[in-house]
């Protein structure tokens, strides 16, 4: 009886390896629930158990403006309660998307340094919660060249601080100059720090070809945001070819989390999240065949 058992174990190992090579891990971006949270129907503390119990997703991506007041991020009791909710439902805190803390590319060095320091509390919160990164914006006023120079300075300083906590600082294509992949990649290459990277978003492009742009960004990716808006009768996203995008992500060698970020109007937030999950599952199943 030993040989059949050994053969079965070997077969299971091969199947598991094949599965792991093709499987894309899913996380849930909190922005998918921004309407529910901003209307008071849900809070940031509810996020871990909703991700797990409603969608069986075990990794989450917070949004700074959806915390329960700015003071909550510096409240040890609040952060401990949030961490306890994650532990209770076996949910990983993946990253925090940080907004409205000043421009890292502000032309005024005093304001730029203040923006850098405003992000410190989110770095410390990310460390406490077990996140690997904070997501920031490469924003500022001026010509693309002027903003790029200022962003490089602000981002470098923030990365130096975050490195003390073993936290990555990742930049999303988030409209403006950051929607230009060449401009954004030049920023990352010039900063040239191990904890500095990108968060390619399937949406948020002004004029660039979104597929070429994501392909260019993927070598620097430490996260991926699968932005969805609306779906047709067959369940396909109407603005983004998810099969094409996920093929690009897979071919890059990226093997970490894909963040579901539903931003549509027609479906409810829960329905949009589920539709995005189903589409990703369908696309990755096709990739396996």
Q: In order of start, what are the domains of the chain with their CATH numbers?
A: 23-263 (3.20.20.150)
The whole-angstrom separation of Cα 191 and Cα 193 is 6
In this prediction, residue 149 carries a pLDDT of 98
First to last CA, the chain: 33
For every residue of 219-285, DSSP letters joined together read: GGBS-EEEEE--B-TTS-BSSS-HHHHHHHHHHTT--SEEEEEE--SSS-HHHHHHHHHHHHHHHHH
Sheet with 133-136, strands from edge to edge, namely 196-199, 168-172, 133-136, 92-97, 59-63, 25-29, 257-262, 224-228
Q: What is the DSSP letter of 201?
A: B
Vertex 220 angle, CA 215 and 222, to 5°: 110
The whole-angstrom separation of Cα 132 and Cα 126 is 7
Beta strands 133-136 and 59-63: pairing type? unpaired
Global pTM value: 0.90
Q: At what angle do helices 109-118 and 144-163 cross, to 10 degrees?
A: 40
The whole-angstrom separation of Cα 74 and Cα 196 is 24
The whole-angstrom separation of Cα 275 and Cα 261 is 11
Beta strands 92-97 and 257-262: pairing type? unpaired
The whole-angstrom separation of Cα 288 and Cα 184 is 32
In this prediction, residue 13 carries a pLDDT of 35
Vertex 140 angle, CA 135 and 146, to 5°: 120
The whole-angstrom separation of Cα 136 and Cα 198 is 9
Please list the pLDDT of the chain residue by residue as tens digits (289 residues): 444 433 333 333 333 333 333 456 999 999 999 999 999 999 999 999 999 999 999 999 999 999 999 899 999 999 999 999 999 999 999 999 999 999 999 999 999 999 999 999 999 999 999 999 999 999 999 999 999 999 999 999 999 999 999 999 999 998 899 999 999 999 999 999 999 999 999 998 888 899 999 999 999 999 999 999 999 999 999 999 999 999 999 999 999 999 999 999 999 999 999 999 999 999 987 544 3
The whole-angstrom separation of Cα 67 and Cα 45 is 8
The whole-angstrom separation of Cα 98 and Cα 17 is 36
């Amino acid at each position: 009886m030993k040989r059949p058992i050994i053969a079965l174990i070997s077969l299971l190992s091969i199947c598991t390896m094949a599965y792991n090579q093709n499987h894309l891990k899913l996380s849930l971006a909190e922005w998918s629930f921004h309407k529910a949270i901003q209307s008071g129907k849900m809070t940031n503390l509810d996020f871990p158990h909703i991700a797990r119990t409603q969608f069986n997703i075990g990794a989450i991506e917070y949004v700074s403006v959806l915390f329960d007041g700015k003071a909550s991020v510096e409240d040890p009791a609040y952060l401990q309660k949030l961490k306890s909710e994650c532990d209770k439902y076996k949910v990983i805190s993946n990253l925090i998307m940080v907004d409205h803390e000043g421009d890292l590319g502000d032309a005024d060095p005093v304001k730029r340094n203040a923006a850098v320091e405003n992000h410190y509390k989110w770095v410390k919160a990310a460390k406490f919660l077990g996140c690997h990164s904070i997501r920031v914006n490469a924003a500022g006023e001026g010509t693309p060249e002027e903003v790029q120079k200022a962003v490089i300075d602000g981002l470098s300083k923030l990365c130096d601080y975050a490195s003390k906590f073993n936290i990555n600082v990742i930049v999303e294509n988030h409209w403006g100059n950051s929607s230009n992949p060449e401009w954004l990649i030049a920023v990352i290459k010039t900063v040239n720090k191990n904890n500095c990277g990108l968060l390619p978003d399937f949406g948020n492009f002004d004029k660039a070809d979104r597929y070429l742009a994501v392909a260019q960004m993927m070598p620097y990716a430490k996260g991926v945001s699968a932005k969805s808006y609306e779906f047709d009768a067959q369940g396909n996203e109407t603005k983004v070819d998810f099969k094409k995008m996920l093929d690009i992500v897979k071919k890059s060698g990226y093997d970490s989390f894909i963040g579901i970020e539903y931003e549509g109007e027609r479906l409810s937030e829960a329905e949009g999240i589920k539709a995005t999950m189903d589409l990703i599952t369908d696309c990755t199943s096709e990739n396996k065949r």
